[in-house]
Amino acid sequence: METPQKPKGRKKVRWIEKNIKFLFVVPAIIYLLALLLFPAVFNLYASLHDWWIGRSPKFIGAENFIELFHDNRFINDVIVTFKFVIIAVTIEVGLGFLLALAATKITKGVQIFRVLFIFPIMVAPIAAGYMWRMLLHADYGVIPNLLARLGFPRVEVLSNPKLAFWGIILIDVWQWMPFVFLVTYAGLTALPKEPYEAALVDGASSWQIFRHITLPLISPILLTVTLLRFVEAFKVFDIIYITTGGGPGIMTESLSLYVYIQGLKFFNLGYAGCIAWVFFLIVMVLTTLYILRLRKEMKL
Amino acid sequence: MSYRRNGTKRFAILDFVPYLLLTIVIVFLLFPVYWMVITSFKRPIDTTTPTLIPFVDFQPTLRTWTDIVFGFNFYQSIRALLNSIITATVSATLCVLIGGAAGYGLSRFRFEKWKNRDIASFILAQRMMPPAVALVPLFIMMNYFRLIDTIIAIILIHTAFNLPFAIWIMKDFFDEIPVEIEEAAMVDGCTRTDAFFKIALPLAAPGLIVSWIFCLAFSWNDLMVVLAMAYNKAVTLPWMIATGHSMRALEWWTISAYGTLAIVPPMILAALIQKYIVRGLTFGAVKG
Amino acid sequence: MVKIHLEHVTKLFGKVVAVDDVTLTINEKEFMVLLGPSGCGKTTTLRIIAGLEEPTEGEVYIDDEPVTYLPPKDRDIAMVFQNYALYPHMKVYDNIAFPLRLRKYPKEEIDKMVKEVAEMLRIEELLDRMPKQLSGGEQQRVALARALIRRPKAFLLDEPLSNLDAKLRVMMRAELKRLQKELGVTTVYVTHDQAEAMTMADRIAIMKDGKIQQVGSPADVFNKPVNLFVAGFIGSPPMNFIECTATEKGDQFLLDAGEFQLDVTCFKDIIKKNATSSELVLGIRPDNVMVDRERKEGLVAKATVYVIEPLGSETIIDLAIGDNIIKARTLEVVDLKMGDEVWVGFDMERLHIFDKKTEKAII
């Protein structure tokens, strides 16, 4: 038998066949590096400099970071953001899951509920904020009007120091609780039947079934959806921008809003870059957790 | 016997509670949307009182809408609508093209140096980054290329933000198509490229549509990027809502009309792919 | 003539050796079965023949032409996959016609050939359906039709029957064999089911850990297994193995299993020449175990009946000899019960002896 030669004409074809995998992936990678890695590098550079737009940067080492940790506004925003994320997500997950459990008891018409639940999720957050601003308007809004008829005083919820924060929570819950509902409902309906039948045969009560079968089986999905909501809620910007603008004062200012204000209102590039990095690192922790979950769920 | 009667009665009430609960929630969820839509059909005078039902509570009018389309600021509103349509469709299409290829690559080939799942995780991590973080550098970048207040800047940035999503979802969809089907095609006489175009791509069509719609909605709904990159020529509907509101604080009716324009397309598209909503929004973790 | 030849083929996945230096010739019109447990490299070998994998080392020849680096489409082979890999977005008709369309056959000819092959496989009624609407058996026929239609040089099948139910599997076994003989196509068939291999193959190549253990006709591998693995893998119920030590007592050469001793003086020279130590393994197929209540000529060991498994036409008797359980198969009516004491003997003509250390067959 002759030795198999790799003919010359094939060489080019073979090269393409061998490297075709890169042709598929490289455009996306380049695109992402250009538009998303650049900001990271830029922010890092800027954060180490005293740099305002239109002026040349001056190297100041970690001074921006030191200033940041003494910046009451930043500390306030970190607290507001965390408070917002924790409270909003807790309510969303709690309510959404509860409703999903209720929906599993329904035999007819679930399909309709499911479609209707999709709508808030798809509403532009800016429009969502705007709707609620209208509804909550002290003089013309439906809700204060209703409450006034019941004898409550008329308050402008979104500019009230005590209530503004809760107004924003309300809007976020309105938009994202349905998402938790849809995900957990999907999870609940996909649970295997056998453990339930086994438990019924074993004579378990409905509470016991919930506690020992439903909850353990659904908890991976609850964890997934909670983590995802955490990651997403940290980005909150639009609804605050339109409803309170961070006010009254800075009582509802989120980190996203602060980066935006420092960078694009004050044009303090160095300081904005510095906030961006700290913000990024906080979210990165949660992101990593979520991605690890994804890998587990999807068996990657 | 009485035990039995009691039992069925209790059962009937229990059956009714979830319906009631869900109906209340649906009212809570849909009422704001309804309110905004009807406000856009109200005469300005009617917007100051809580009137609920058209023709009963108030006389609906198309005046707001005709003002938007033919009125003094018609140029701006039509342009915002067109900008919204162009940026959303173009960036969604770019995402699906580049992302579909990358998703296929990650699903079908083995990468040695960095493992596939590491590349994929790195890509997805980009998606989870808060957009605000990248905003200032991107502003500087676009300023450098003289792209501020152009829809090109907005398209480029939206594509960058949504591309990771498209890649991940497409990878998820391609993963579901058995490799053997493409291999069968190759044995039957296809080249690898043929197998991709004739077999893999048609089979991944639902995935392509789903990612396209999601990317479209993300782009359509975005405010922050537009706020940072546009001030006049390149503004979109969300920008109109955000700034229109601060300019004419009490013109509920006009902004409601912009709002209605802004929310209807994503809602219709989402209803079309409702089977895949959960899967898309959880990045494939929950198949729905 | 279509002959497939693998020359020192090795395939590595990272550091894992999937196929380890395989050299194998598949003759013209031959039905060759690659048999082995999962993970033994049989499917990878098949995929290398198909061109879906490139070997790390070694060469593949089809008709003495080196094809190692030829893409699958230029090899003119057809393949049936374990999950059938039908194109889900095409009707059955289009599935079958697809290979011809790629080769730009005229429309009328395609139609004629599709009808022909559909008739041969009795799927004429299914041509308008989508793959999803078909049962497993029907899908399998469509996959076969798609492979057969272009009269390929060779036919590669990767566990094509493993997703069918037991009854259908046995039926398809015979049908596939008949088809292969009628068409006279060189065929490579991968399976982990030894019964499938035995019934269909002209020759069987048994693989383990990426290496070929033995190549031979079904009778060969059944009657003359070269090592413990092949002996244990072929045959159902599997061969009984009893560990024992070779001892000499005067003129006699005995195998001492503790509970009993077997006189193998007749094999003395062969054993002495080939064994690396006195540690040996005695192998005997269930068919060749004799059982009786009384001690008769040739019965050497005392045993207790452990379980009786009647299978209708035959009966499997599990016997406990000390700690060893061995199986015997008999076609006769058995009047034994569990716990009965019996005497057991072995058919000396059908005895196998293996070296315990090298696992190689001595006899």
Q: Per-residue confidence at A7, pLDDT binned at 50, 70, 90? A: very low
- What domain range includes position A267? 254-300
Place of tokens 């969303």: A92
**CATH number of A167's domain:** 1.10.3720.10
Confidence of residue B248 (pLDDT cuts 50, 70, 90): low
Tell me how far apart the alpha carbons of residues B179 and B175 are, in angstroms, rounded to a whole number: 8
CA A238 to chain CA centroid, nearest Å: 12
Look at residue A78 and tell me if it is in a domain: no
Please tell me the pTM assigned to this model: 0.84
Q: Nearest residue on chain B to C157, judged by CA atoms?
A: B184
Q: Which residues of C touch A1 (CB under 8 A)?
A: 5, 7, 61, 64, 66
| Cα–Cα distance, A132 to A143 (Å, whole number) | 10
Confidence (pLDDT) at A246 = 83
Same domain, A269 and A247: no
Residue C241 CB coordination number (10 Å):
18
Sign of the dihedral defined by the CA atoms of residues C47, C50, C54, C59, in that order: positive
**Cα–Cα dist B85/A294, whole Å:** 33
Is A30 within a domain?
A: no
Evaluate the omega torsion of the peptide bond into residue C237 and state whether it is cis, within 30 degrees of 0.
Answer: yes
pLDDT at residue B250, as a whole number: 64
Q: Over 80: is that where the pLDDT of B48 sits? A: no
State mean pLDDT over C187-212.
Answer: 93
Q: Starting from the edge strand earliest in sequence, which strands make up the sheet with C65-66, in order?
A: C16-26, C4-13, C57-62, C65-66
CB–CB contact C81 B192 (8 Å): no
DSSP code of A52? B
**C-alpha to C-alpha distance for B266 and B218, rounded to whole angstroms:** 9
Instruction: Say yes or no: A186 and A107 in one domain.
Output: yes
Q: Cis peptide leading into A39, omega within 30 of 0? A: no
Q: Do the domain assignments include residue A109? A: yes
Residues A298 and A162 in one domain: no
- Pair A212, A267 in one domain: no
Q: What is the DSSP string of C55-78?
A: -SEEEEEETTEE-TTS-GGGS-EE
A262 and A205, same domain (yes or no): no
Residues C259-268, buried b or exposed e (16+ Cβ, 10 A)? bbbbebeebe
Task: Please give the tally of structural domains in chain A.
Answer: 2
pLDDT bin (cut points 50, 70, 90) of residue C204 is very high
Sheet hosting strand C154-158, strand order edge to edge: C77-80, C154-158, C186-191, C31-35, C203-208, C211-216
Residues A110 and A244 in one domain: yes
Helices (H), chain B: 2-39, 63-70, 74-108, 116-128, 131-144, 151-176, 179-188, 192-194, 201-203, 205-221, 224-229, 237-247, 252-272, 277-281
What digits encode the pLDDT tens for the residues B139-182? 989 999 999 999 999 999 999 999 999 998 999 899 989 989 99
How many whole angstroms separate alpha carbon C230 and alpha carbon C242? 16
Closest CA to B30 of B22, B19, B41, B40: B22
Burial class (CB in 10 A: 0-12, 13-18, 19+), C9: buried
Q: Are residues A184 and A283 in the same domain?
A: no
pLDDT in tens, C320-331: 988 889 999 988
Q: How much is the pLDDT for C328?
A: 92
Q: Does A263 touch chain B (CB under 8 A)?
A: yes
Q: How far apart, in whole angstroms, are the C-alpha atoms of residue A46 and residue A52?
A: 9
pLDDT at B65: 84
Residue A149 maps to a domain: yes
Long-range CB pairs of C114-119 (<8 Å, 24+ gap) are C114/C145, C114/C149, C117/C145, C117/C148, C117/C149, C118/C145
B270 vs A238: CB contact, 8 Å cut-off? no
Region of B149 on the Ramachandran plot (φ > 0 left; ψ -120 to 50 alpha; else beta): left
| Sign, Cα dihedral of A64, A70, A71, A76 | positive
Q: Which residues on chain A are in Cβ contact (under 8 Å) with B134?
A: 35-36, 39-40, 276
Residues A153 and A270 in one domain: no
Spell out a b/e string for C84-100, using b for 16 or more CB atoms within 10 Å of the CB, else e. Answer: bbbbebbbbbebbbbbb
Most A-contacting residue of C69, C70, C73 (CB-CB within 10 A), to test interface: C69
> Over 50: is that where the pLDDT of A167 sits?
yes
Tokens 């690890």 sit on residue: A292
pLDDT of residue A181: 93
Residue A288 with chain B: CB contacts under 8 Å: 125
Sign of CA dihedral C67, C70, C71, C75: negative
Quickly state the pLDDT bin for A172 (edges 50, 70, 90): very high
Interface contact A42-B132, CB threshold 8 A = no
- Asked whether the beta carbons of residue B271 and residue A118 sit closer than 8 angstroms, the reply is yes
Nearest in space to B39 (alpha carbons), one of B241, B266, B268? B241
Averaged pLDDT for residues B110-136: 83
CA distance B126 to C202: 57
CB < 8 Å from A in window 20-49 of B: 21-22, 25-26, 28-33, 35-36, 39, 47-49
Q: What percent of chain A has pLDDT over 90?
A: 26
d(CA A32, CA B95): 11
Residue A21 lies in a domain: no
Residue B11: pLDDT band with limits 50, 70, 90: low
Over the stretch C28-68, which tens digit does the pLDDT of each residue have? 999 999 999 988 999 999 999 998 888 988 999 998 888 88
**Residue A142 clears pLDDT 90, i.e. is over it:** no
| Alpha carbons C212 and A97: distance in angstroms, whole number | 56
Q: How far apart are the first and last CA of chain B?
A: 43
**Rounded CA gap, C85 and C160, in Å?**
11
Interface test with A, best of B93, B118, B133 (most A CBs within 10 A): B133
In the predicted structure, residue B76 carries a pLDDT above the cut 50: yes
Residues A275/A258, Cβ–Cβ less than 8 Å:
yes
Structural fold of domain B73-281: MetI-like fold (1.10.3720)
Give chain C's domains with CATH numbers: 4-233 (3.40.50.300), 240-355 (2.40.50.140)
First to last CA, chain C: 37
**Amino acid in the structure at residue C138:** E
Tokens 């980054």 sit on residue? B129
Report the distance separating Cα A114 and Cα A186, nearest Å: 10
* Domain-located, residue A10: no
The residues with which C344 forms a beta bridge, in sequence order, are C291, C301
Which whole number is the average pLDDT over A213-231?
A: 89
* Mean pLDDT value across residues C84-91: 90
Is A53 part of any domain?
no
In eight-state DSSP terms, residue A161 is T
Does A242 share its domain with A265?
no
C-alpha span between A149 and B285 (Å, rounded): 47
Query: φ and ψ at A185, to 5 degrees?
Result: -65, -45
Mean per-residue pLDDT of chain B: 85
Chain A, nearest residue to C69 by Cα: A6
Percent of chain C with pLDDT over 70: 100
Question: Residues A139, A141, A142, A144: what is their CA dihedral angle, to the nearest 10 degrees?
Answer: -50
Q: Which residues of C71-82 are buried (b: 16+ CB within 10 A; e: fewer)?
A: bbbebbbbbbbb
Q: Residue A295 and residue B121: Cα distance in Å, rounded?
A: 9
Angle at B54 between CA B49 and CA B57, to 5 degrees: 45
pLDDT at B12: 63
Please indicate, yes or no, whether residues A154 and A217 belong to a single structural domain of this protein.
yes
Picking from A220, A235, A251, the residue at the C-terminal end of a domain is A251
Residue C337, phi-psi category: left (phi > 0), alpha (psi -120 to 50), beta (remainder): beta
Same domain, A201 and A286: no
Same domain, A240 and A272: no
User: Could you tell me which chain C residue has the CA closest to the CA of A5?
Assistant: C66
Q: What is the dihedral of CA C69, C71, C73, C76, to 10 degrees?
A: 10
Query: How close is the nearest chain C Cα to the Cα of B184, in Å?
Result: 6
Closest to B22 (Cβ–Cβ): which among A99, A124, A272?
A99
